[in-house]
Amino acid sequence: MTDKIKTKLNSFLDHVKKYNKKRDENSERFKVLNIILMIIFPMFISCMAEINQFKHVSAFMSFAVERPSILVFNFIAAGIVFILLLAAFRKGWLAVLAQSLIYMALSITELFKYGTNGNHLILSDMKLFKSIKSLKSFAYIKITPRLIIYCLIVLAFIVVVFHFNPKLPRHKPFKRAIAAAACACISMCMIVFPGFYTPIYNFFKLDTTAASNAFLLNEKFDNNSFLAFIVETASESFENRLVEPENYNEEYVSQIIDTDIDETEDFNGGVKPNVIVVMSESFADFRVFDELGIDDSYYEGFDKACAEGKSGIAVTPTYASYTVRSEFELLFGLPVRGLNTPNMPQRELADREQPAFAQYYKSWGYKTAYVHPFQGSFYSRTRIYGDFGFDTMIFHDDIEGVTDFTVPVEHFGTYVDDNTVFNQLLDLVKTTDDPMYIHTTTMQNHQPYNLGEDPDDEIGNYLTWVKHTNEGLEAFLGELKKLDEPTLVFFVGDHFPSLRGETSVYNQLNITGENCSTLYEQKYFFWSNYDADFSDVPEDKFSFFYVPYIIADIIDAPHDSFIESMDEYMKELPIYSTDYNDGTPDNEMLDVLTYDRVIGDVMSPCPIPDEILEASKGED
């Protein structure tokens, strides 16, 4: 280090020491001002976080006039958090910095999330934070001058507090500890104990209506605003957490699956067809909305397959996002409602071998494969789905440049072309001697939908991609017709697409929490290149989780008492979905079976050999 650099460094350090000395003097000299800064900060940061959502100060002020009690609730909640941080850090600027970062980070995340898919942020979404690399490809992230100004205003407040340097006395650590403990206790009670938070929510007039679908949840956001919404939904999530059913025991499980098993010959004389389940990302038929005037040409391939096979309506457990809900139901043949409809059901599973339907196919002599043209780390699929009974798992990671695909990978829009996926499915079938069970979750039609001639015409761009899927689908089925192997295909979209919040076609259609059921209805088809018997396919609507049993009936697979029981439930309760119809009462039997198979001790009949299941439990 040269003398010149040392001199400059020493000079800089001297300035820092002088400034810190001045800040220490400010702590004593401006005590009244510092008290005022500490008092107004919780109100200031609450307002800034909310204004960022409303985008315009005038809109925020209108809400404040209409719902002043919500604003007061936000101030008090922010004050409790601030006292906790102040007691922990002692220095006012550190507490201000920490809370500012937390509030503004949550506010900006909410802003982008709603702008991306029309769904509001809840705390459980933060579980996806470690998948931030993946999420960046989904989100519409637009840094506006308004957002920059709001962030600069918050930064200016932090600078002012740093300069005047309010802080608590060093010689009162016990009082600080008491204050921190009291605030932590209040915060915990606000989430955990209904007897504590219910009267508080009622007093401040928070909307505590149970939000059984995404649109009702968004309406609750409008009534509560951002911060109160975050707190109230955290309480609701904790209250709805999954716990072991009171009647979960071996005797009850045996009772609810006590049914006669059909002992007729299996697999139509021993012929085991390939089974391909295609869950097409965001594939939905917008022709159900007549007012949009969607041309049939976008869906020609799908319509042709429906005419050649068997089609109908299946009720998906999700809308616009949380693909893993739909995936869980198709892979397990169990309702996410049996797990209290979590956004990410795979995070509820016990860490052991899981009796997903791939395990049944393995026991029937099939080779099994899971294909997803995206990062295996997203939703922890690589780690978790390894317990589902798949012999092969194929992923593609554009970010890391790693692929498991054995066919050339092409892209259409942002993601891997559906034609690439179809080619991979064909390759698996052609290169495997044994019959195949394949589940694929595609990626091509995932948001964002701003790639096209008009970036603002989301629905137009989306339909262009759907048409491309239809063209590839028709070619794929055409190739299957040439095979001398019997093959059954089930095709369905996981949910209607995520469209931007305020400007989406859903808002244009005036869809609300009361009339949104159509967005949970997905058209599907069963198709085969042989003379498959579709007589067991229900004519009426049914939930996604019944699909594996319908397929088992079509291919005439063996039934154990569990499969036989689920066939009976399909007749008695064809739709079991909170989002689609929260008026349906809880079904104790379906809930217990769901808990038993994915979390409990697997007391119901299971295709996994006992020694493997028990060994995997021991590894837990």
What pLDDT is attached to residue 177? 87
Tokens representing residue 130 in the block: 């470690």
Sign of CA dihedral 162, 168, 170, 173: negative
Least confident interval from 207-211, 367-371, 543-547: 207-211
- State the DSSP code for 391: S
DSSP code per residue over 253-289: HHHHT------SPSHHHH---EEEEEEETT---GGG-
The per-residue pLDDT for range 181-234, each reduced to its tens digit, is 999 999 999 889 999 999 999 999 999 988 888 888 889 999 999 999 999 999
* pLDDT tens digits along 572-591: 999 999 999 877 899 999 99
pLDDT-derived band at 502, boundaries 50, 70, 90: low
Q: What is the pLDDT of residues 459-478, one digit of tens each?
A: 999 999 999 999 999 999 99
User: Can you give the pLDDT at residue 132?
Assistant: 54
As a whole number, mean pLDDT of residues 553-566 equals 94
- Give yes or no for a contact between 554 and 534, defined as CB atoms under 8 angstroms apart: yes
Residue 413 has pLDDT above 80, yes or no: yes
Q: Using CA atoms, how far apart are residues 14 and 20, in angstroms rounded to an integer?
A: 10
Residue that wins the pLDDT comparison between 482 and 20: 482
**Longest Cα separation, the chain:** 94
Paired tokens of 48: 């800034």
Q: How many residues does the chain have?
A: 620
Partner residues linked to 542 by β-bridges:
314
DSSP assignment of 129-145 equals GGGHHHHHHH------H
**What's the pLDDT score for residue 359?**
97
Q: Hey, what are 275's tokens?
A: 């089974």
Domains of the chain and any CATH numbers: 13-239 (no CATH), 269-619 (3.40.720.10)
pLDDT at 202: 96
Report how far residue 313's alpha carbon sits from residue 448's, in angstroms, rounded to the nearest whole number: 26
Do 233 and 122 form a contact (C-beta atoms < 8 A)?
yes
pLDDT at 421 over 80: yes
From CA 432, how far away is CA 463, in angstroms rounded? Answer: 35
- How does residue 264 score in pLDDT terms, banded at 50, 70 and 90? low
User: For residue 111, what pLDDT is reported?
Assistant: 86
Confidence of residue 455 (pLDDT cuts 50, 70, 90): confident
pLDDT at residue 40, as a whole number: 96
Tokens of 399: 């970010």
DSSP-derived 3-state class of residue 210 = coil
Going by C-beta distance under 8 Å and a sequence separation of 6 or more, which residues neighbour residue 51? Answer: 57, 60, 150
Q: How far apart (Å, rounded) are the C-alpha atoms in residues 278 and 442?
A: 8
620 vs 618: CA distance, rounded Å: 5
Q: Spell out where 519-565 has E strands.
A: 521-528, 542-543
Confidence of residue 408 (pLDDT cuts 50, 70, 90): very high
What does each C-alpha distance from 17 to 8, 10, 12, 14, 21 come to in angstroms? 14, 10, 9, 5, 6
Beta bridge partners of 217: none
pLDDT digits (tens, 9 = 90+) for 35-51: 999 999 999 999 999 99
d(CA 568, CA 398): 44
Task: Give the pLDDT band (50/70/90) at residue 1.
Answer: low
Gap between the Cα atoms of 38 and 93, Å rounded: 10
Most confident of 86-90, 115-119, 391-395, 615-619: 391-395
| pLDDT tens, residue by residue, 113-158 | 887 777 788 877 766 555 555 555 555 667 889 999 999 999 999 9
**417: helix, coil or strand?**
coil
**462 phi and psi, to 5 degrees?**
-60, -45
Q: Model pTM?
A: 0.90
**CB neighbours of residue 132 within 10 Å:** 9
CA distance 335 to 541: 15
Spatial distance between the Cα atoms of 332 and 367, rounded to a whole number of angstroms: 17
Residue 620, pLDDT > 60, answer no
pLDDT at 454 over 90: no
Mean per-residue pLDDT of the chain = 91
What is the band of 495 on the pLDDT scale with cuts at 50, 70, 90?
A: very high
The percentage of the chain sitting over the pLDDT mark of 70, rounded to a whole number, equals 95
Q: What is the pLDDT of residue 366?
A: 97
Least confident of 344-348, 451-455, 597-601: 451-455
Give residue 550's pLDDT: 98
Average of per-residue pLDDT across 168-183: 85
Where is average pLDDT lowest: 51-65, 441-455, 550-564? 441-455
User: Are 429 and 436 in contact, with CB atoms under 8 Å apart?
Assistant: yes
Question: Angle at which helices 418-431 and 458-482 pack, to 10 degrees?
Answer: 20
Peptide bond into 448 cis (omega under 30): yes
